[in-house]
Amino acid sequence: MKICARCILPETFPGISFDDEGVCNFCRKSISSGALEGEKERYRAKFEKILETLPRDGEYDCLVAYSGGKDSTYTLDILKIRYGLRLLAFTMDNGFISPRAKENIESVVEKLDIDHIYYKPRFGLLGKIFRTAASEVLYSEKSLERASTICTSCISFVKFPSLKMAIEKSIPLMGYGWSPGQAPVHSSVMKTNPALIRMTQNTVMAPLVDHFGEEVRAYFLGERHFGLKDRFPVNVHPLAFLEYDEGRIMDRISELGWVKPDDTDPNSTNCLLNALANDVHIRQFGYNPYAFEIANLVRNGYMDRGEGLEKMADAAPPELVEMARVKLGLR
């Protein structure tokens, strides 16, 4: 299989092409490191400007989607320690959180002295969704370029219930631990747009309702939420505009009692379902769903190409794939 000579994107990735030197079109279109640093500074300043006028009359300043992984843990630390925000951490338990990750979550929220909510949708429904997503493509191929069908389904039970809570509690900020490879800097500080949320919600909710019934709607925003337009929060994922060095991140979060799990795949530090999700996506589309994220990290100097290729090669350890299949009752 042909792979970009500069990043790690394979020839199976949608829309890819290579020049005579074997460099992909995504690398050729990427901005220079100098321009990237300028953009990061601009969005850091934009975020800090928002903080100057942030309403402080509610219970919390920011609701953070907290998976227990390394990036969301570091994001919690930044927002609490560097920026002094009053945080509510929100963890969705999909039934596949690594035991070590659960210990990490408990340790970190205690160490940082943060209020924390576990949200556990009933596994009877989630299990049906995951089983179906393991054999069917529920969403458009374009929407699955950066995440598998299983993960796209799962993250919907994080994004929309947490957004509902932020709206209901009038929490002005929503924090995410996206890496610089997952989400670009120009989306790192953005006011939530109700019309856009309605559209993106429907692209996921409609197929789920078609397959699993009206009960799915309870996990998504209703008309009463869309009627509260002034309560829609500002989204922020600070790792896109702040320093991102994995070694320093690991050093810092280890001080909070965070220990790297030894029972997850190389692309996750919290989820035991991720290996099966990767395996299914590779079989369906011919490339790792983490390819785009890791290519961006390599392209922008956050990760060397050898490490990126290694993560691609070890995307779906067979023993983890089998464990998830057994729990879901898949043959």
> What is the pairing mode between strands 173-175 and 115-119?
unpaired
Considering the domain architecture, whether residues 105 and 1 belong to the same structural domain is answered as no
Specify the pLDDT at position 331.
Answer: 76
Considering the domain architecture, whether residues 197 and 246 belong to the same structural domain is answered as yes
Considering the domain architecture, whether residues 9 and 103 belong to the same structural domain is answered as no
CA dihedral over 326, 291, 183, 61, signed as positive or negative: positive
- Which of 303, 8, 317, 315 has the alpha carbon at shortest distance from 148? 315
Specify the pLDDT at position 102.
Answer: 97
CA dihedral over 39, 42, 47, 50, signed as positive or negative: negative
- Single pTM value for the model: 0.94
Strand partners, 174: 63, 235
- For residues 128-145, one letter each, b for 16 or more C-beta atoms within 10 angstroms of the residue's C-beta and e for the rest, the string is ebbebbbeeebbeeeebe
Considering the domain architecture, whether residues 105 and 179 belong to the same structural domain is answered as yes
What are the helix (H) ranges across the chain? 25-29, 33-52, 70-77, 99-112, 123-133, 149-168, 194-212, 223-226, 246-254, 274-285, 291-299, 305-313, 318-328
The pair of three-digit structure tokens given for residue 225, joined into one six-digit string: 């939420």
- Structural domain including 12 reads 1-30
Q: pLDDT averaged over consecutive 10-residue blocks of the chain (331 residues)?
A: 95 97 96 91 97 93 98 98 98 97 98 98 97 95 93 97 98 97 94 96 97 97 96 98 94 97 92 96 94 95 93 86 95 76
Considering the domain architecture, whether residues 176 and 281 belong to the same structural domain is answered as yes
> What is the pairing mode between strands 189-191 and 234-236?
antiparallel
The pair of three-digit structure tokens given for residue 152, joined into one six-digit string: 């796209």
Specify the pLDDT at position 32.
Answer: 87
Q: How far apart are CA 227 and CA 214, in angstroms?
A: 21
Considering the domain architecture, whether residues 122 and 12 belong to the same structural domain is answered as no
Considering the domain architecture, whether residues 269 and 221 belong to the same structural domain is answered as yes
Specify the pLDDT at position 243.
Answer: 92
Considering the domain architecture, whether residues 217 and 182 belong to the same structural domain is answered as yes
Q: How far apart are CA 142 and CA 181, in angstroms?
A: 18
CATH of the domain at 259: 3.40.50.620
Q: Give every CB contact of residue 243 below 8 A, 6+ residues apart in sequence.
A: none
When divided into structural domains, the chain yields a total of 2
Considering the domain architecture, whether residues 17 and 65 belong to the same structural domain is answered as no
- Which of 166, 298, 307, 316 has the alpha carbon at shortest distance from 230? 166
Residue 50, amino acid = I
Considering the domain architecture, whether residues 197 and 297 belong to the same structural domain is answered as yes
Considering the domain architecture, whether residues 13 and 50 belong to the same structural domain is answered as no
Specify the pLDDT at position 191.
Answer: 95
- C-alpha distances (whole Å) from 97 to each of 23, 52, 94, 226, 247 are 38, 36, 7, 31, 24
CA 36, 40, 41, 45: dihedral to nearest 10 degrees?
150
Considering the domain architecture, whether residues 17 and 98 belong to the same structural domain is answered as no
- Which of 6, 57, 2 has the alpha carbon at shortest distance from 297? 6
